Structure 1
Amino acid sequence: MYSENPFDAEFGGIPELYLDFNNDAVKYAKRAHRYKKHPTYSLFITGVRGSGKTVFMNKVGKELNKYDDTIVVTLHNTEDLFRIMYIKLAPMLNKLKKWSSSVSISLPFVSINFAEANEKHDEIYYKTEITKILKLLKQANMRVAFCIDEVSNTPAIQKLAEEFNNWSLSELQVSVIMNGLLKEVAELSSSHNLTFLVRADRFHVNKLQKLSIAQAYIKVFDITSDQAEEMAEMTQGYAYAFQLIGDLMYEELSTGKNFEDSWNYTKLAFKDTLFNQAYDVISHELTEIDFQFLYEMSKNNNISAIIEKMGKSKQYVNIYRTKLIKYDLIKTIIRGKLGFTLPLFREFIQAKYDELNWG
């Protein structure tokens, strides 16, 4: 067994064991770096919560950091997006002369004390100064990649779209790498002024391959293929489940327990943590009708039975079926039958439905 725990059940960071999507991260980093052909570039990463969207975005950012002529700036979708963007960009001007002695820096904002003054300016000021910085960086043949986490249809993102269009018209060397839930993409795509999203590359974070998961478990724990396959099956290819099960098993096995005892405990702890840390958050994004559909499906996965139990028309129920498939929570197994995509999600829905007293 590994001497140190390689699993990371926290959201966002790049875990030591990162499966299946390394080549994709390299590919999109290369696309973002092709600034001579495409000065501005945008990528939207989607997937169900816990699928590894932020991890993949950070991986693309890490690949971009390998280019000497690229600055990666990580941001969150907040109201003061442009202020934070400015605060992170401005210090780069102090390094410009190291990159290019031909660039003349004579802008007054370089000496601003951010700790005291960054609340004293309006948004227009920050937008203007950011554009100045981007123009200077372009003179130095430097490219900027903004990595923005949890993008949604907020005023800040709408304004960012407008700025991105302006940067594109000015042929500034800018990439915007974003991640968000599929439903947020749908809302953003319907906004009339977000044409940059329509043109953006899309990458959907799919499930991990169970073979890759099993091989990783064998390598870390030195267990049999049957044991590893049993663990991999429990994950259902869900990235968060892969890391969580690995983390729990490592902690148990490291105490000297045998596989069977460790696995029995891990299965119990996995369910509890999965429900509280991931599925509760997902449930807050669902409507009561979504829950009703999922609950009826948990009892009978035949679409005709779901329609009958909900007491609605086929067209009405199919709207929610299509929506939940799009959100990656359910899938079509065979004609007329549906399945859950996430591990133990059936049990969670039944427990949550009873908890909310909708039954």
Structure 2
Amino acid sequence: MSARIANPFKPTAGRMPPLLIGRDNIIEDFEEGLDNGPGAPGRLMRVTGARGVGKTVILTEFGRIAKARKWEVIDETASDGLSQRLLDRLAPLDKPAVSLSLKPSVSLAGLGGLSLGEANVSSQHMPLTLRETFGQRLDVLERKHAGLLVTIDEAQAAQRNDMVAIATAVQHLIRDERNIAFVFAGLPTIASKWLNDEVLTFLRRAQAEQLGDIPLQEVSDALADTFADSGIELDGEPLRMAANATNGYPFMIQLVGYHVWRIAYRRQRGESGMIVTANDAREGIANALTRLGDAMHGPELDGLSPIDKTYLLAMAQDDGPSSTSAVAERMGKDLAYANIYRTRLIDAQVIRDAGYGKVDFAIPYLRQYLREHAAYIRMHG
């Protein structure tokens, strides 16, 4: 019996997939930023996009690129206590990190009277602010001609005090031309939450990268090449079916690839000249759709308000783009009220503007999921 071949697709959040389709430009911008030195645009970046478009994967790839240049990489996911975790990871090994808490609306001396927060230290050791601690670590790294990359995922979930502390530190380090790069990623709501905050105006200067869907021809080429590299042929009608089923959605590309490959391999394991049939593609796509609902649609809806969900259920009654006036009528609300939720859902990239007075779903297969689970969604709000 021949040795088992590993499935080349990785449809798990945060796992590095074998292909980064359609992300060449953002990767090149980041590489150029590291290579062009302090102050280069690619060293301060914000990456936004809906769930499943590969934000975490991009951060992982950035970390790999930085490590290849002998940089140190600190990756964090935003949640309460983010500043303290950064201090803990940056503090010298022979000095315990201080405890950092931030009080809003307290003026910091020497910073033009801006309300940026005050660092209070509960440790008896010398107080170490984020700026000082970053600087100490960079002193060591720069002697080795290296730098420091910090990535913050799910930035929309960060506490304001943590973001203020990080922003204050990073803007001074950039001004001092230190060898640092800072990338934060999050849902599109990050724009409305942070970029209009007067204290965090420097974040507006970060290079904005919005991740979207991948052109189907690129998806088709990548699927065919990845299957071929593992000894399975995917071509013709099965390839067309698989590529079209992804809708160019990066997470769905991994799901379809994984399940189609798995079914074709199980059917032919040990045979020479393995090939994907139309039945393999059909069954794999069905399995991928089930997994997409569990992994993506359910959690997406869980984060929405009951009225957000009502708006989506009203949209799901249409086979294509929905009239905003028809949606409002189905909700039993006037257009102005319904448009509040239209705007919220567009900002979150759950739906998209489909032309004058029209909206459509931005997440693949969400309409189908809503129809199949409408009773449950209404019952549980």
Asked whether the 8 Å contact 2:38–2:174 carries over to 1, the reply is no
Q: Does 1:279 align with 2:297?
A: yes
Q: Does 1:255 align with 2:238?
A: no
Cα-to-partner distance string for 1:289-327 (whole Å, 9 max, x where unaligned): 211111111113222211222233323323322332232
User: What residue is the counterpart of 1:161 in the other structure?
Assistant: 167
Cα-to-partner distance string for 1:70-119 (whole Å, 9 max, x where unaligned): 332222224343444345445xxxxxxxxxxxxxxxxxx4435xxxx56x
Offset of 1:213 from its aligned partner? 1.4
Offset of 1:238 from its aligned partner? 0.9
With 331-340 and 271-280 compared, the bigger mean Cα shift is at: 331-340
Offset of 1:149 from its aligned partner? 1.5
Which of 1 and 2 has higher RCO (CA within 8 Å, sep 6+)?
1
User: What residue is the counterpart of 1:131 in the other structure?
Assistant: 135
Write the distance in 2 (CA, Å) between the matches of 1:225 and 1:157.
50
Q: Does 1:192 align with 2:194?
A: no
Counterparts in 2 of 1:3 and 1:251: CA distance versus 1, 3 Å: same
Q: Out of 127, 150, 155, which is 1:151 matched to?
A: 155
Asked whether the 8 Å contact 1:291–1:349 carries over to 2, the reply is no
With 72-81 and 147-156 compared, the bigger mean Cα shift is at: 72-81
Aligned AA for 2:72? Answer: I
Aligned to 1:256, what secondary structure does the other structure show? helix
Write the distance in 2 (CA, Å) between the matches of 1:245 and 1:265.
10
User: What residue is the counterpart of 1:214 in the other structure?
Assistant: 220
Write the distance in 2 (CA, Å) between the matches of 1:347 and 1:278.
13
Q: Out of 231, 237, 246, which is 2:257 matched to?
A: 246
Identity of aligned residues (%): 21
Aligned to 1:299, what secondary structure does the other structure show? coil
Q: Does 1:295 align with 2:313?
A: yes
Write the distance in 2 (CA, Å) between the matches of 1:296 and 1:82.
42
With 331-340 and 206-215 compared, the bigger mean Cα shift is at: 331-340
Q: Out of 175, 178, 181, which is 1:172 matched to?
A: 178
Structure 2 length as normaliser, TM-score?
Answer: 0.78
Q: Out of 59, 63, 66, which is 2:65 matched to?
A: 63
Write the distance in 2 (CA, Å) between the matches of 1:64 and 1:147.
11
Cα-to-partner distance string for 1:20-73 (whole Å, 9 max, x where unaligned): 1134212223124433444994211001011101111222232233334x3322
User: What residue is the counterpart of 1:306 in the other structure?
Assistant: 327
CA RMSD of aligned residues (A): 2.6
With 331-340 and 276-285 compared, the bigger mean Cα shift is at: 331-340
Write the distance in 2 (CA, Å) between the matches of 1:148 and 1:237.
26
Asked whether the 8 Å contact 1:275–1:348 carries over to 2, the reply is yes
Aligned to 2:266, what secondary structure does the other structure show? coil
Aligned to 1:10, what secondary structure does the other structure show? coil
User: What residue is the counterpart of 1:122 in the other structure?
Assistant: 99
Write the distance in 2 (CA, Å) between the matches of 1:268 and 1:111.
55
- Structure 1: runs of 5+ lacking an equivalent: 91-108
Aligned AA for 2:287? Answer: A
Offset of 1:8 from its aligned partner? 0.5
Query: How many residues get paired?
Result: 333
User: What residue is the counterpart of 1:75 in the other structure?
Assistant: 76
Asked whether the 8 Å contact 2:43–2:182 carries over to 1, the reply is yes
Q: Does 1:237 align with 2:243?
A: no
Write the distance in 2 (CA, Å) between the matches of 1:39 and 1:256.
50
Q: Does 1:111 align with 2:132?
A: no
Aligned AA for 1:291? Answer: K
User: What residue is the counterpart of 2:209 in the other structure?
Assistant: 203
Q: Does 1:329 align with 2:350?
A: yes
Aligned to 2:14, what secondary structure does the other structure show? coil
Aligned to 1:194, what secondary structure does the other structure show? helix
Aligned to 1:328, what secondary structure does the other structure show? coil
